[in-house]
Amino acid sequence: MSGPGLAERTEALARCLQLAGDRLDGAVVAEGERVVAQVRERLALAPSTTVAALAGATGSGKSSLFNALAGADLARPGTLRPTTSRPLAAVAADEDVHALLDWLEVGDRRALDHGTGAARGLPTGLVLLDLPDHDSVVTEHRETAERLYARADLLVWVLDPQKYADAVLHERYLRPLARHADVMVLALNQADRLAADDRTTWREDVRRLAARDGLGDVETVLVSARTGEGVADLRALLARAAQRRRAAADRLSADVEDVAVRAVEALDGGTERRRDLPSPEALVTALEHAAGVPTVVDAVRRSAARRVRARTGWPPLRVLARLRPDPLRRLHLRPGTPDADTADRTSLPPAGPQVQAHAANAVRRWRDDATAGLPDAWVLGVRSDVRTDGLGDALDAAVAGTTLLPARAPWWARAVDVLQWVGVAAAVAGLLWLGVLAGLAYLRLPEPSTPQWGPLPAPTALLLGGLVLGLVLALLGAVGAWTEGRRQAARARRRLRAAVAGVADARVVAPVTAQVERWTSAHDAARRAAGAAAGARGRRR
């Protein structure tokens, strides 16, 4: 009985409701949950049996037609109104249908044997229901009828010449069931009361009203329960439905399609939705400025150069450089890997109002671009998930937790430092040597012989060589400090951008992406549940 893909489409509808339930209209969700439960229950009950229900207004002759179709006097037509107070089932099925009738909540059951059923009346594999009047003055009767309208596999609307155009019938019942035209029959009862020309006019008028209700070419049969006219045709129609064993699947498919199309319409935002999200590069750049990354990068450049100069400069003058504060430490930052005690805050000045506004606008712009085409409920949900409150603190913590400089100066700077101290030692040795020689000359004591290193005496060569070596190394160190500052600044900028991108992802990109993917999954599930109707939604509404 289960039509091709019905179970899969039902599960797709259930998936859609699970993903988008709080973003859909409550009526759609409630109807969808009812349909999913009904499909699952119906597919598990008497799968080879078709349930056909006679529906109609008071006085339309449902009970008489019920008896005529069943070939037995099962229902008692009455003269008082309402004539049918509770549903009655005529069963001509090969399988056990008690569980099915329990689910339908039909307690009054009449089993037809082959003598009264298959041969004279109902075809095997069919359960025929005689329902209470939909216009009954008793509320309970109307509720029972409407409940079974939703659960019957095939609906036979019994119309009479007096009430067939009743507005309540068309507006409350036929029009909302337009998607179920394939599992619906209009039985024009009491045709024997009309002349031949009037019958044709009545049938054409009924078809016109049915077309206006969206039922299209719904099956229409002229019958008379009193004379038996058309009863055989209607019974043959029911027999074909029972033999195909498709009525239940078609009815359930129409129910799933109806809710799924409504879900698709609710999930469509009115404009074409692109599947890819915008690049977050502009967002990250704006947040970089809000986090003070350019200030930190400049401090890293100057701090790296200062550290190299402190190792490569001429030692006697280094003390002057140390008097200047480290640019990084002024921002409560330091080289090396930050620890938990010091990596929570920086001393960066807060971004100005213009920069903060630019960052907030960048967040809103990216969020709005990412959610363009989504329904209003989803856009509002994303806006509630993505806020700029606390964003500045998160960016500051990300900067404070980023490794900006290595803990130690580069190896070549340490090597130059050693050579500088060698040069200082040589200059000091030469100066002391010359001082000793000058003291001996001043005291007119005999001077020891002084080695000659090329054109210069050894102490002079030591003094001048140490000074020249210190100057050359200091100049080379200055060039190296400039280069190292730029190199470390570039590295720090990449690390800081990655840290800011992490904040942007956690606070903006990831929440928006999750909601967009949730919408995409819900929308795709709704379209799978709607099937071919998704591309032509609204044409039969």
Q: Residue 235 has which token pair?
A: 């019974």
Per-residue pLDDT of the chain (541 residues; tens, 9 = 90+): 444 488 899 999 999 999 988 888 889 999 999 999 988 888 888 878 889 999 988 888 888 899 888 888 887 665 444 456 789 999 887 778 889 999 999 988 888 865 444 435 688 888 999 999 888 888 888 889 889 988 888 999 999 988 888 888 898 888 988 888 888 999 999 988 888 888 899 999 999 999 999 988 889 999 998 898 999 899 888 888 877 777 778 888 888 988 999 999 888 865 566 667 888 898 898 888 888 888 889 988 988 888 888 888 888 887 776 777 878 888 777 776 665 454 455 556 555 566 677 788 888 888 888 888 888 888 888 888 887 777 777 888 888 888 888 888 888 888 888 888 888 888 888 889 888 888 888 887 787 888 888 788 888 888 888 888 889 988 998 898 899 889 989 999 999 999 999 989 988 999 898 888 899 899 999 999 988 666 554 433 3
pLDDT tens figures, 119-164: 356 888 889 999 998 888 888 888 898 899 888 889 999 999 888 8
Q: What is the pLDDT of residue 182?
A: 84
Integer Cα distance of 289 and 283 in angstroms: 10
pLDDT of residue 337: 65
Distance CA 522, CA 514 (A): 12
Largest CA distance in the chain: 160
Terminal alpha carbon distance of the chain: 27
The tokens for 434 are 């010359």
CA contacts within 13 A on the Cβ side of 471: 7
pLDDT value of position 533: 66
pLDDT confidence of residue 114: 52
DSSP string covering 391-434: HHHHHHHHHHTS--S-SS--HHHHHHHHHHHHHHHHHHHHHHHH
Q: How far is CA 55 from CA 63, 109, 159, 345, in A?
A: 10, 17, 9, 74
| DSSP 8-state secondary structure symbol assigned to residue 446 | P
Measured from the Cβ of residue 389, the count of other Cβ atoms closer than 10 Å reads: 7
Question: Strand 154-159 and strand 184-188: pairing?
Answer: parallel
Cα separation, 187 vs 223, whole angstroms: 6
- Per-residue pLDDT reduced to its tens digit, 495-531: 999 999 998 998 899 989 888 889 989 999 999 998 8
| Identity of residue 106 | V
Predicted model pTM: 0.71
SS (H, E, C) 97-127: CHHHHHHHCCCEEEECCCCCCCCCCCCCCEE
